[in-house]
Structure 1
Amino acid sequence: MAAGAAGRVELGFAEEAPAWRLRSEQFPSKVGGRPAWLGLSGLPGPGALACARCGRPLAFLLQVYAPLPGRDDAFHRSLFLFCCREPPCCAGLRVFRNQLPRKNEFYSYEPPSETGASDTGGSVCLQLKSGAHLCRVCGCLGPKTCSRCRQAHYCSKEHQTLDWRLGHKQACTESDHLNQTAPDHNFLFPEFEIVTEAEDEITPEAVEMEDYSEVTGSLGRILEEELDSMARHESKEDHIFQKFKSKIALEPEQAALPG
């Protein structure tokens, strides 16, 4: 949910979209799948994408295209969010920002085509124009290589083992197109485009406090004391979060986009 002028916000909704709309050259905002990297060089390495708690590779959760008006160096700007999805951890979160001027070595100066004429179906490109190879499992930088075929690239030993078990063992020496095909490893989140719409001016309804009048005895008094204490010590972050919750309650199906 991005704040706009005069209190207006943009609401983000996750919707199905053709594959071509979710590629880097379309500057997408999306949830799940492999990251559509903006800058095609200088990507974060495996060390930066490992959970600080359990050490496992983080999974790509979403990205938001968020250019900054008036900033020549941020004509194109995307934010990438990664998370740990390995139970019982599920604790790691990491955000990366990438930005480019309008004139750059990766994309045309003119806006991208809004047609799918160049769509090639469900093929997967695991090598960037810069020459960097991506992991077959997660789509992040893949410095490791299969010692047998020297074609499959991985970010980590964990993902190399996962891919080996799910088909690479058989396909290792049989295909010259490993960079265009990759099985579903069940590691990625389902992929959807984030479509934004401007929210109409709506006055949020007052959120009523839950009535605890029927709660009796010492438990009721303890709850009331805790609530009073929390209200007295509410931090700035708590206030912002409550305001955020009240705003998204108007459209429960929206995705939350950073401002």
Structure 2
Amino acid sequence: MKNLIVLRGGGDIASGIAHRLVRSGFPVIILETDQPTMVRRTVSFAQGIYDGEMMVEGITGKKVNTTKEALQIMDKSTIPLLIDPKAECISDLRPTVVVDAILAKKNIGTTIDMAPIVIGVGPGFYVGKDVHAVIETKRGHDLGRVLLQGQAIADTGIPGNIGGYTIERVLRAPKKGIFYAIKKIGDQVQKGEAVAKIDGEIVYASISGVLRGLLQNGILVSSGFKIGDIDPRAEVKHCYTISDKARSIGGGVLEALLYLKNR
């Protein structure tokens, strides 16, 4: 298929990228694991791996079982979701573009020879070695910038500042165990209120605000694993729309592929 884009990852940032690419006329296939661990599930196409399909701002991600099925359902309003964490389908699909938006903070298998254009999102990719371009993901002056040499800013481990909060707005597992939510995405919570539990141990809200993200129930998590996100701006509608960060990074990916395609 002409101008086919294979997007590795279906979390909220990857979904913002996919949404912008599809709106711009590019056919996109998303590759995911069989158990995605994104917390912003209400704006992540990867939620369709659990539910069969997932709509984000008018575009639907639909789970498929084969590349043949993916090519059959792909159109301007539907993105196929294929379980293929190792991107083994690339040899069959022969895409024009591969975008790695797994956001693992390191390269876990993307190579520069996967397609004529290969783009890495965030840290872990070196231009000319791993990919043809990198998109900066760190909040601030360079967010969404297309890098044609070097690499993105290394991960600091500190979440971006939203409403004056950084690490405080992220909920993490207190121990290894199975995650279950007490609240749901979109709920208003107060600091100290029970939000979730890990094998019976309660996780409490670290600040007051709106629950913008929570893991899928039943996932086994390790101690310290990100399980949720509280937005102190308390705008419920933000839970159901693509973020400013995802839109900016999506614009960077679109710019990078057009630049490289036309060069």
Range class of TM-score, shorter chain: under 0.3
Q: Which has the larger radius of gyration?
A: 1
Instruction: Identify the structure with bigger relative contact order (alpha carbons < 8 Å, sequence gap 6+).
Output: 1
Q: When the two structures are superposed, what TM-score results if normalisation uses the length of structure 2?
A: 0.25
